Amino acid sequence: MAKVNISPNRTTDKTIRTIDRKREQERKKMFHRAKDHATEFAAKLAQRLIDREIIETTSATAVREAFETQLGKLGYIEEFELQMKIAPIRTIAQDPNVVSLYFTQYIVEDLINNPAIQDIYGDDLDIYRAVDSVFRILRP
């Protein structure tokens, strides 16, 4: 009878793959939930950023619509594109919410170019905290 070789590397790899699959499933659930409730989240996020004086805008409706559009696209974003988007701020928090990271970077990089935005105040951590206060409920 042949001896079964149980390698510690094999079990470690299996554990890592299991953890990765679990994180990917959680991420997909968060993206779909955010997409399904895009109108509510967009309104809350726009209001939160305006209330905390992080963004200065001429039209809250335009900001809400921009957020709603991004939430709609969130379910279809490729993994590489997502990782490239959040790479600059990946280490901003201990256990970051990927949706909050994505929107923080979206606000810093892309929303600033929206004609309805006059200015964005605060550093990345302030913006992340405001965004995460809205998207925190997405986490399982």
Return the exposure string of 57-83: e unless at least 16 CB atoms fall within 10 Å of the residue's CB, then b.
beeeeebbbbbbebbeebeeeeeeebe
- pLDDT given at position 3: 53
Q: How many residues does the chain have?
A: 140
Alpha-carbon separation of residue 66 from 23, 35, 91 (angstroms): 27, 13, 26
Largest CA distance in the chain: 77
1 pLDDT band (50/70/90 cuts)?
very low
Q: Quick: pLDDT tens for 38-58.
A: 999 999 999 999 999 999 999
- pLDDT given at position 79: 85
Nearest-angstrom CA–CA distance, 131 and 44: 10
Alpha-carbon separation of residue 3 from 6, 10, 12, 60 (angstroms): 9, 16, 20, 68
14 pLDDT band (50/70/90 cuts)?
confident
2 pLDDT band (50/70/90 cuts)?
low
Q: Quick: pLDDT tens for 92-129.
A: 988 888 999 999 999 999 999 999 999 999 999 999 99
pLDDT at 135 over 80: yes
pLDDT at 10 over 90: no
Question: Closest by alpha carbon to 30, among 122, 119, 123, 139?
Answer: 139
